[in-house]
Amino acid sequence: MAFGRFLMRLLLVPLGGCIAVCVAMTFVMVAQWNRVAALSHDDISGLTMFFVVVPMLAVTSGVMLLPGIVTALIAEAFAIRSWMYHTICGGLAAWVGMATIGPVDADYDFSGVPLIVVGAGIAAGFAYWLVAGWSAGFWKPVFAQPQPAPP
């Protein structure tokens, strides 16, 4: 039973991380839609937008959320299943990532507004909780029957 749960966690945690990066990237694109639309109308075509700006946002979101890996490992180790823990850690991870890496590219920099970056981290943390965080910890069953108290 524990080995099957461990294998499930090995699949869910990376999937939750990938979905968190996609949610953060989508949040940034929607929050800065005017800049995205200006880029697509001014000097680049739709294919260039798809093959340059979207992967750059995905890489930037992924790098900014790298401190979130530490918090996800802490949640797995101690079976922390709180949505508040994951959203707060997502916001903090994005802020720490923004503070450490700074702007990636001046031409397509979408990570310059701290409020948007922290909001993307909060959204990513919540998305991670929806996929993998609500059942964190492979050693603690999710739907366990309560044990009766000893007499």
pLDDT digits (tens, 9 = 90+) for 100-139: 876 655 555 666 678 888 999 999 999 999 998 878 776 6
Q: Residue 90, CB half-sphere, CA atoms under 13 Å: how many?
A: 30
Instruction: Determine contact, residues 104/56, Cβ cutoff 8 Å.
Output: yes
Rounded-to-integer distance, Cα 104 and Cα 89, Å = 22
pTM beyond 0.75: yes
pLDDT digits (tens, 9 = 90+) for 69-89: 898 888 888 888 889 999 999
> Measured in whole angstroms, how far is the alpha carbon of residue 76 from the centre of its chain?
15
pLDDT digits (tens, 9 = 90+) for 13-46: 889 988 988 898 889 888 887 777 776 665 556 6
